[in-house]
Structure 1
Amino acid sequence: MINVKFIPAGIEIKARIGESLLEIARRANVFIDAPCNGSLSCGKCKVKIVEGQVDTKTNRHITADELKTGYVLACDTKVTEDVVVETIEGQSSYLAGMKIEDLSGPRDHEIFERAKAQVLDNGMKFSSYVKKDYIMIEAPTLDDNISDWDRIKRHLRNHLGYSKVFCRLPILRKLPSILRDSEFKVTITHIPRGKNRTMIVNIEAGDTTDRLYGIALDIGTTSVAACLVDLYQGKLLAKASAGNAQMKYGADVIHRIIYATKKKGLEELSHAIIHETINPLLVKMYRDAGIDKEEVIAFVAAGNTTMSHLLLGIYPDYLRLEPYIPTFSNAPFIKASELELEMNSETFLYITPSIASYVGGDITAGVLASGIWTSEENVLLIDLGTNGELVFGSKDYMVTCACSAGPAFEGGEISCGMRAAGGAIERVEINRETYDPKLVIINDEKPKGICGSGIIDLIAEMLKAGLIDRRGKLNKNLDNNRIRFDEYNIGEYVLAFKEEWDIQEDITITEIDIDNFIKAKGAVYSGLSTLITSLGMDFSIVDKIYIAGGIGNSLSIDRAIEIGLFPDVEKDKFVYIGNSSLMGCYLTLMSEDARKKLEEISNHMTYIELSVYPTYMDEFISACFLPHTDIERFPTVEKILKDNKIN
């Protein structure tokens, strides 16, 4: 065994000779960004060897000069002796620094109130399935010497009408002390099951009937957002969000599914989401709101189908193998203690139902929050995250599909790409004469890379400025220092020179990056088109387009249309609805009627599998162009290109 030390984290760990640096870092809980899960395709896991020798080599991501100065790819480097490894600045705080939609944005209050109003306006009540009652029980005597548990059951039968009362072992263990310490005056938290049955899930001394709390949780592939809710008043008492710690095992669901098939892979992925992500968020919210975890007694979570499987530690490999079958769509209620979640051990976790392998409970929750199920209009819901999920319909029908966009909208598969965090370029304008860019950077920091909304801006601006053609290829006739080509004739545009910004290396976007992003946007547009045409309709029938997901907050609709991501329709049809998944979880948490509606929604949505749909591949190939091979579909873009003399 040898010693591997990671700085600046200051963590030292034993390792076997021949073990890769990436695997060692994962065991040491040192975060190294590896979107491709070590397949050598992304080049993001770059680290520096400060002391010692390693077994590594040059590749297309590591130049000979970089190798001489100690830079290596962690996934392509094996240890041979004691080493000191320096991780890239900011990686250790990357998860905590991500920009995440968690109902805290400036537009969220209005969106939040609208979602609540839709539930109430449709005759649903805000009433939790969890109840609290303060009871005063007669103390035992020699003449009345039945057991503590029988005494509680007798009281509930005589005063509340429950002839059948149940509990689990943790409640029985609490009874002797808590009854006598409170002089037999206690508050029970229980879940009624029919008219005369109930399950006691907590017991507290005194009258605590004014304190009842629940958790709403959105588990995204890239980020996780949660809120702590007062179940009586519906108030959001605390919010918290962070990057999903599973990111160290790959940027998208496919890489994580593959990792789950490895020895202890599933265990490590479940540990990352529960103990490294969810539990710290819960503890933070309890501290911020001044409550005890034992008071949290309801929990609703939503995520895509893969995230739901990994949360429960369920083998996910069949999700990616034809015919793409999940282990469950509607999960049973899960006890918090079974997952080691930081809350009352008797709390039941409700996971919102999935539709298919690639359309999960986050979409059903989003449909509930968006109100498509009650709309007279034809509504298109686009959820852009690490992948793309789409829903089209109204109160009469709903169809849905998932498009294989990959992680490009989160900065994956892009050499300079990154997720939305401090230092990410999120908006770009290009001067038409000098070709110099004007950048808007998250937190006004020095640029570190470019996130999804910035990439959309950049490609649209490059097209209109004549820097690239409609295939995404750089204009070789332009004499400008920001345009350069390597020995393989692959071009790149320099977004930020290292001398200009005092950063370690130039931030560029290459023709390969642009091609990857064009394929991602093509997957979304072709999915939208297929979804609509499968019903014998076209985009003119769409009355509203709801944009959900983290990228939507800073997304320019104009730029998205210009590159052919969204259809060329009236701009006032587009509405940003924030984190609709988290909002749907809140509604489900607050209203038993909403939960029933959620399950009704999941049962009535029709799923279209794009990979076997007859016309999808033709649609996809046509959409892999800027904005599309059929320019007549984008009349406003056609005019812009003509005005700028772009062919």
Structure 2
Amino acid sequence: MPKVTFLPLNKTVIATEGDLLIEVARKHDIFIDAPCNGSKTCGKCKVRISSGEVYTQKNLHITQEEIDNGYVLSCDTRIKSSDITVELINIESSALNNMQIQSISTERDQLIFENSRKQLIDNDMEFGTYVKKDYIEIGLPNLDDNISDFDRLKREMRTKLGYSQVFMRLPMLRKMPFILRNGDFKVTVTHIPRGKRTTVVNIELGNTLDRLFGIALDIGTTSVAASLVDLYSGKLIGRASAGNAQMKYGADVINRIIYSTKKEGLDKLNEAIIKDTINPLLQKMYKEADVDMEEVIAFVASGNTTMTHLFLGVYPDFLRMEPYIPAFLRAPFIQAGQLGLEVNPETFIYIAPNIASYVGGDITAGVLASYIWADSQNTLFIDLGTNGEIVFGNQDFLMTCACSAGPAFEGGEISSGMRAAPGAIEEVKINDLFSAPIIKIIGEKSPKGICGSGIIDLIAEMFKNKIIDRRGKLIKDNGNPRIKVDEHGIGSYIVASKEEWPDINEDVCITEVDLDNFIRAKGAVYSGAATLISSLGMSFSELDRVMIAGGIGNSLDIENSIIIGLLPDIPRDKFSYIGNSSLIGSYLTLMSEDARKKMECIASQMTYIELSVYPSYMDEFVSACFLPHTNTDDFPSLSSLLG
């Protein structure tokens, strides 16, 4: 059987003749970036065959020069009978930067979370955990008092704490005899009360009343963010994020749903999110904060409808087929032990309720955190993540829709795109038509790619400097040395070249295909918002505020976003960025039963509209696929730029 050696990992695996190269890599946990999940449309799974022969085909994503040097698309290449050596391209920028765990400074986050907590209290909602801990000294058993351990514990909790009924599940029952005796029957009991009834979820040696922790989690399609919270004070004691390891199976939810239908596909996707993404995040936070997983006893997660299905291992394929029915909108409480999450196995997992197939619990949590529901102002809430979800409303009504923006805002399906991680270009300024752009890089000295906010800046700057026209096509006859054209006639603009940045292996660039993808993504968001508002007989001029949430980050430039037609041309002081609203909503729900009830209320009150049933939507979308829009009257402040 042929052997496949992957460099620079120096990992050799056994394959079968006819195997698809990308599937060989996936089978052996080797990451190859494939946002389109092998549909041959993105060109990001490019590798180099340095020795041996393969079955492959010519593709528009690979130049003749690259073909001559052994480059192939791994999604369009099959194994022959001989051994081969495969060089992974840009493994540092694609794999490590998308997958590595980053600790996040909690100082700024603490202020955001504290402000959310203050707003919650200002709206007459209680803030504080529902989990209780009590230290109990239980009388030692003897021949005269020989009732069972469980009865002895229940007796103490009845007489000293006032509970009429005490429950315990099997895993806890198995641990209890040893803990009681090792602690000389002096233990701290963690339990979840409901009136006079309570359920014991943990027993610890001695007095540990000062230690009680929970997890707030945002399961994004591209990125996963987690916070470790002190349940007594509500303070963040840890925060980390990482790329969603499911990226290896596709950048967007549709490609992952399709992959879930393959043999063992659903199990692989479930393992990727829990074993390969969430658990490493938890381990890192525990280590840095000196917390034991058994001390983590509360857990709230939010994510879009597809992500929550994959998180629970629930078959999601019916989400993408008419009439688009999910298996669930509100998930039951689930014990962590059933999912293999590295928290106390008795912990109940609460998942923010979904609204529809393509509007999930991340939006419900985001609306909770935005406090739209408590304000009379007409508010447009836009989540600029991998999936474009929009909410419009106030304290009297909430309307929502989803638009097929795709992964472009998180760098997906963009040649040099990446999520907002170290090495990503997050800001771009072009002062001279022929000189290198001025760029700001996240956390490192050299650029490895460009994230969503950087792409918005870049397109706006290219448009202002007449490097591209209103269709997003490069103006190739102006003699700009930073514009290159390949053998297929597809142009690209070099943002950062290998000559300018010796530490990078490949130019950071944006191609005309990338520009088209991004303009379609921004057009989907703008047209979705316009259709949602017009469905109520209103217009952008009637907005009191626009709140931007999602992974695109604080570097989002509002002016540039308006220039490219992503956001409406209204007074700039109406715009604000509220951070990862999904994570904030999970945090509030973790710390407040009132917040959880309000979230359930929001989910039941939100009205979902299906954009495809509105005849005007497609016309609006087509009009929005220009810079900034075909109807320039909607962008009066840009009149001088547009001529």
Counterparts of 1:161 and 1:330, CA distance in 2: 33
User: In structure 2, what is the equivalent of residue 645 of structure 1?
Assistant: none
| 2:504 is the counterpart of 1:501 | no
User: In structure 1, what is the equivalent of residue 613 of structure 2?
Assistant: 612
Aligned positions of 1:474-513 closer than 5 A: 474-502=474-502, 503-513=504-514
Report which stretch shifted further, 263-272 or 45-54: 45-54
SS at match of 1:581: helix
User: In structure 2, what is the equivalent of residue 440 of structure 1?
Assistant: 440
Of 93, 98, 110, the residue aligned with 2:96 is 93
State the Cα RMSD in Å: 1.8
| Contact 2:106–2:239 (Cα < 8 Å) also in 1 | no
CA displacement 1:32-62 (0-9 Å, x = unmatched): 1110101110111111223322222321112
Q: State the 4+ residue runs in structure 1 displaced beyond 6 angstroms.
A: none
| Contact 1:491–1:511 (Cα < 8 Å) also in 2 | yes
Aligned positions of 1:166-565 closer than 5 A: 166-193=167-194, 195-434=195-434, 436-502=436-502, 503-565=504-566
CA displacement 1:402-430 (0-9 Å, x = unmatched): 11111111222323323333333222222
User: In structure 2, what is the equivalent of residue 142 of structure 1?
Assistant: 143
Residues 175 and 399 from structure 1, CA distance in 2 versus in 1: closer, same or farther, beyond 3 angstroms? same
| Contact 1:380–1:542 (Cα < 8 Å) also in 2 | yes
Give the counterpart letter for 1:454 in structure 2. G
Deviation of 1:636 (Å): 0.9
Residues 179 and 19 from structure 1, CA distance in 2 versus in 1: closer, same or farther, beyond 3 angstroms? same
Give the counterpart letter for 2:475 in structure 1. N
Give the counterpart letter for 1:611 in structure 2. S
Report which stretch shifted further, 569-578 or 250-259: 569-578
Residues 608 and 104 from structure 1, CA distance in 2 versus in 1: closer, same or farther, beyond 3 angstroms? farther
Report which stretch shifted further, 108-117 or 501-510: 501-510
| 2:585 is the counterpart of 1:601 | no
| Contact 1:218–1:301 (Cα < 8 Å) also in 2 | yes
Deviation of 1:276 (Å): 0.4
Counterparts of 2:611 and 2:395, CA distance in 1: 24
Residues 486 and 138 from structure 1, CA distance in 2 versus in 1: closer, same or farther, beyond 3 angstroms? closer
CA displacement 1:371-396 (0-9 Å, x = unmatched): 11111211111110112111111111
CA displacement 1:522-578 (0-9 Å, x = unmatched): 100001111111111111221111111121321111000001000001111111111
Counterparts of 1:520 and 1:468, CA distance in 2: 17
| Contact 1:435–1:465 (Cα < 8 Å) also in 2 | no
| Contact 2:33–2:95 (Cα < 8 Å) also in 1 | no
Counterparts of 1:103 and 1:447, CA distance in 2: 20
User: In structure 1, what is the equivalent of residue 66 of structure 2?
Assistant: 66
Residues 173 and 635 from structure 1, CA distance in 2 versus in 1: closer, same or farther, beyond 3 angstroms? same
Deviation of 1:397 (Å): 1.0
Counterparts of 1:11 and 1:381, CA distance in 2: 46
Residues 211 and 448 from structure 1, CA distance in 2 versus in 1: closer, same or farther, beyond 3 angstroms? closer
| Contact 2:329–2:354 (Cα < 8 Å) also in 1 | yes
Counterparts of 2:160 and 2:497, CA distance in 1: 76
Deviation of 1:432 (Å): 4.8
| Contact 1:364–1:602 (Cα < 8 Å) also in 2 | yes
User: In structure 1, what is the equivalent of residue 569 of structure 2?
Assistant: 568
Deviation of 1:337 (Å): 0.6
Residues 142 and 105 from structure 1, CA distance in 2 versus in 1: closer, same or farther, beyond 3 angstroms? closer
| Contact 1:62–1:72 (Cα < 8 Å) also in 2 | yes
Counterparts of 1:431 and 1:440, CA distance in 2: 14
CA displacement 1:478-499 (0-9 Å, x = unmatched): 2222334445544333333433
Deviation of 1:83 (Å): 2.0
SS at match of 1:95: helix
SS at match of 1:183: coil
Give the counterpart letter for 1:231 in structure 2. L
SS at match of 1:319: helix
SS at match of 1:299: strand
Counterparts of 1:531 and 1:106, CA distance in 2: 37
Counterparts of 2:41 and 2:432, CA distance in 1: 33
User: In structure 2, what is the equivalent of residue 639 of structure 1?
Assistant: 640
Residues 448 and 213 from structure 1, CA distance in 2 versus in 1: closer, same or farther, beyond 3 angstroms? closer
SS at match of 2:500: helix
Report which stretch shifted further, 488-497 or 195-204: 488-497
Give the counterpart letter for 1:347 in structure 2. T
Give the counterpart letter for 2:30 in structure 1. V
Counterparts of 1:456 and 1:419, CA distance in 2: 13
Counterparts of 1:498 and 1:175, CA distance in 2: 62
| Contact 2:128–2:234 (Cα < 8 Å) also in 1 | no
Counterparts of 1:505 and 1:467, CA distance in 2: 22
User: In structure 1, what is the equivalent of residue 162 of structure 2?
Assistant: 161
Counterparts of 1:163 and 1:508, CA distance in 2: 67
Give the counterpart letter for 2:149 in structure 1. D
Where structure 1 has 5 or more consecutive residues not aligned to the other structure, the ranges are: 643-647
| Contact 2:117–2:127 (Cα < 8 Å) also in 1 | no
Give the counterpart letter for 1:83 in structure 2. I
Residues 109 and 135 from structure 1, CA distance in 2 versus in 1: closer, same or farther, beyond 3 angstroms? closer
Counterparts of 1:510 and 1:170, CA distance in 2: 56
Counterparts of 2:106 and 2:480, CA distance in 1: 40
CA displacement 1:556-614 (0-9 Å, x = unmatched): 11000001000001111111111111111111001111111111111111111112223
Report which stretch shifted further, 486-495 or 299-308: 486-495
| Contact 2:48–2:72 (Cα < 8 Å) also in 1 | yes
User: In structure 1, what is the equivalent of residue 52 of structure 2?
Assistant: 52
| Contact 2:429–2:437 (Cα < 8 Å) also in 1 | yes
Counterparts of 1:226 and 1:64, CA distance in 2: 44
**Structure 1 vs Structure 2: percent identity of aligned residues?**
65
Counterparts of 1:580 and 1:186, CA distance in 2: 38
Give the counterpart letter for 2:138 in structure 1. I
Report which stretch shifted further, 431-440 or 65-74: 431-440
Give the counterpart letter for 1:153 in structure 2. K
Give the counterpart letter for 1:141 in structure 2. N
SS at match of 2:587: helix
SS at match of 1:203: strand
Give the counterpart letter for 2:546 in structure 1. I
| Contact 2:430–2:462 (Cα < 8 Å) also in 1 | yes
Deviation of 1:157 (Å): 2.1
Counterparts of 1:32 and 1:222, CA distance in 2: 15
Residues 379 and 607 from structure 1, CA distance in 2 versus in 1: closer, same or farther, beyond 3 angstroms? same
TM-score by length of 2: 0.96
Deviation of 1:106 (Å): 7.0
CA displacement 1:468-515 (0-9 Å, x = unmatched): 221222324422223344455443333334333344444432322222
Counterparts of 1:404 and 1:628, CA distance in 2: 18
Counterparts of 1:158 and 1:6, CA distance in 2: 65
CA displacement 1:198-244 (0-9 Å, x = unmatched): 11111112121221111111110001111111101111111111110
Counterparts of 1:421 and 1:284, CA distance in 2: 17
